[in-house]
Structure 1
């Protein structure tokens, strides 16, 4: 069939009009790509908009743990009769957790950075490095030979991928803060907002990177060196300033990464007790529609510590003490593969993909220990340990920065000094009534004792009494040791010799979870909980980090099962 040329042109024109109308219709019914649904403005405009970021990415070493509801404190046995596990329903938000415990290699990277930036040969910085060192003498035993571990466990390459021990709760917390800054520093460098290799070549004690400082006062990061802290991606903003006809310079806006950019990750931190227990139990593996089918005693399915799979039947699923004088079993097939700790990832992961959530080492969590979890007050992201702070604002109206002369150290009960603030960080102070006045959700900075251990929860508190309550007895009558430094710089240790103490519980003891290489199977139950002073370390407690998730609860779209 012969097609007329004019008819063909009319046909093509008609198709173009239809496509154009259809496209306009779609654009009118929904916001254009990159434009605001509220105003129609281009939110990705480089001249003054802001970038609309997507989902959060997992930080290095982290595994996604989808949140949900679970029964916290659900133990099958309570042979200790300490009554500190009361089953209660809790809901945990989605978060990220380290796939394995923090290893010796990871912690040595931290120590090396401190040594490079804050040389221990300088008197001002000596306590920083020494305060971060793990206590290698935790391996010593009065009636056992263990000098091999004391000398080699932390630094010998053979133990590189073994979990770090000898780290107290405070040191674990400080490592988490350091890790946050190093990860975000690398992200900024990778995306062209920091000079390449500045994190190793240009960093000094006075000029370093801190995430919160960058977000609040980017020009104060790295001592305000604009050759390191670039204005815009790869310094593009420094070259992009424009001049109007009357000679006025128009500086580019939003030249630094902000929280709204979505580029920087939330902080690495210790997991809360509820997060750790939820992640260890991994009840998601028992889920059948909207219920958990069956009960798990351990992070794996079943009631036994050995594998029942055909290919691995009989293998131990964790590293723990199997009996008196039996830390690994008989040499050979039935051995659990370790007599002390073991290399990470040597045992199967649980249903969240997390390794060693039972055995190997027990792990610090963020919570201050109390015998009872107060689920009557809160059943969502439960955590006891909140101490709210804010940035200290100076006389110039700007946030104060920690300097070499304003660094702060904590003196631990054993006399060890640990740095709690470093040059380049923002100075933090407790929140005051400007933040708490007429609030319903919190009314003080320190909430460690809320509804437990404060005056009103003491049995001796006189409600409605006009008499003074100054002589009230504390709920937790624990030993109070004191360490001071005299005028000559010598340490004076004052031991509490009172025989009237009734408990070891106080505001400085933290929860640790999970069984270890020297614990019996009883402690492998994720719901079991114990406590230890936050400034002391052992050869069986390590830690892993967590990170909050921002945005959606789930990573993948849910689909109903047919």
Structure 2
């Protein structure tokens, strides 16, 4: 009897130890690599083990990625031959529900004006460089002064898509938006003093996401009272000697969001098509000509049968129908969310305004080299390093201004940001996946794309050895701007050569979708057009996107049908 009892006790002890060991090995707060505790109050490795999935940032909707046929599904009546169908795959991402509106852009301008007052000479170009070009509404044989004076700022157009914004300005808006959203997230998580983003911010003391990650003590111009745990809602941590430790939120916390950016062309086209309504099990049955199902631009639903599904030019001299019976409810742009969204929940992916995307334009999509997250336009940079070995933070006295080809002046970096320099041999030596910083003209069909490109260039081609590393396939005009040393005035010189054969270069960007000024043909998401990245029009706007981190789908269970 005693032997049986002893055996039972031994068995229970063994089971208990095994259970404890299993729990310890499977616990999210212990390391599977070392067995050490994670997130211990005594210190050591800290990590967000409770992270579930990326939070949807303000204004965005989720777009689950996948494979699709990118390119035309109708006749190429324009004979551009620039959108031959290719099979591509895009990762899951987020995209703005609507185009960026005048009200959204005005918030950006208001912030710039408060932080960098244009009344101060050193900051004037920062605010002016961000202003949309309201003169895009002018027409030599039309009266549009009311739009020039009112469209951007009047509350009657507050929810209308912003226009007159160049590609460069759209990118700068996305960068600013990234910083403001992450600043809000860090404030909510208790890493930043509440309301400091408004009360304590001035030129040289702003928040920048990259600076916070790489040099957190330099954020807000080094004002550590904003990030100090004594002034926030975080628990104060101390060293063994009792000194306070200031803990910052890194990427590993899951608090900091990926950057807002312009969508790639592949992402935009995939999101615009909204192919989920054509899915049958694991295949798309059919193709789509528009963001909605069907071959026509009018609704077939009983209640709204015959209504136009987008805002576009109906015909010659017809931008919206007759009085009392408007076909699409608008004659110029229209308020966002006036037409039904597509299957991803995205509004106005056809019509209203065309939209900038991130890509540099080339007539071909090189699917032979890459068919995953396709994008042309990579320019790889790295953080500039100061003499003391720390990252170089731009100060108010070190703002560098660039003069664009059209004469406009913009700030290369704002105070508080980390200065960037091109990657060099430190990153490219013996590397296989890239070998230079600027890859905009990679494999675009020019001489440089051939294995013998060095032998192909000569002085007779009008290309020097120094410039032979840049593209010469596209013989675009080369205008020039100089600055008069005595007066500081800009001297604009036009390229008057009659030997130019193309407008394509590394500074032209793709824009997608139709607009209020376009006919039905351009509503097809596959259509491609291009425009200089420094210029703007009255029919091109933009929306932002954001990459998704973690799982491909929000639905953990595999869809059966």
Return the TM-score normalized by structure 2.
Answer: 0.92
Counterpart position of 2:441:
449
What is the aligned counterpart of 2:328 among 321, 333, 336? 336
Counterpart position of 2:525:
526
Distance 2:109 2:365 in 1: 36
DSSP 3-state at the match of 1:124: coil
Distance 1:224 1:295, change over 3 A: same
Decide whether the 8 Å contact of 1:62 with 1:98 is kept in 2: yes
What is the aligned counterpart of 1:240 among 220, 237, 240? 237
What is the aligned counterpart of 1:323 among 290, 306, 315? 315
The CA deviation at 1:206 is: 1.1
User: In angstroms, what is the RMSD of aligned CA positions?
Assistant: 2.3
DSSP 3-state at the match of 2:95: strand
Matches within 5 A, 1:284-363: 284-333=276-325, 335-363=327-355
Distance 1:29 1:204, change over 3 A: closer
Counterpart position of 1:9:
none
Counterpart position of 2:36:
41
Gaps of 5+ in 2: 1-8, 463-471
2:85 is equivalent to residue 50 of structure 1? no
Gaps of 5+ in 1: 1-13
Distance 1:342 1:385 in 2: 31
The CA deviation at 1:25 is: 6.3
Superposed CA deviations along residues 72-98 of structure 1, whole A, max 9, x for unmatched, are 112312111011111100000100000
2:471 is equivalent to residue 479 of structure 1? no
Counterpart position of 1:7:
none
Decide whether the 8 Å contact of 2:67 with 2:89 is kept in 1: yes
DSSP 3-state at the match of 1:123: coil
The CA deviation at 1:49 is: 2.4
Distance 1:236 1:279 in 2: 40
Distance 2:133 2:559 in 1: 52
Counterpart position of 1:469:
458
Distance 1:255 1:117, change over 3 A: same
Distance 1:455 1:260 in 2: 45
Superposed CA deviations along residues 41-87 of structure 1, whole A, max 9, x for unmatched, are 22222422222233111110000000000111123121110111111
Superposed CA deviations along residues 253-277 of structure 1, whole A, max 9, x for unmatched, are x710001111000100000000000
Decide whether the 8 Å contact of 2:102 with 2:159 is kept in 1: yes
Distance 1:214 1:501, change over 3 A: same
2:108 is equivalent to residue 110 of structure 1? yes
The CA deviation at 1:333 is: 4.3
Counterpart position of 1:375:
367
Distance 2:453 2:107 in 1: 54
Decide whether the 8 Å contact of 2:225 with 2:231 is kept in 1: no
2:435 is equivalent to residue 435 of structure 1? no
The CA deviation at 1:39 is: 2.5
2:250 is equivalent to residue 255 of structure 1? no
2:159 is equivalent to residue 161 of structure 1? yes
Distance 2:17 2:277 in 1: 47
Decide whether the 8 Å contact of 2:476 with 2:501 is kept in 1: yes
Superposed CA deviations along residues 314-365 of structure 1, whole A, max 9, x for unmatched, are 1110000010011112333452000000000000000110000000000000
Return the TM-score normalized by structure 1.
Answer: 0.92
Q: Tell me how many residue pairs correspond in the alignment.
A: 540
Distance 1:363 1:323 in 2: 22
Distance 1:493 1:477 in 2: 20
Counterpart position of 1:78:
76
Decide whether the 8 Å contact of 2:249 with 2:255 is kept in 1: yes
Counterpart position of 1:147:
145
The CA deviation at 1:233 is: 8.8
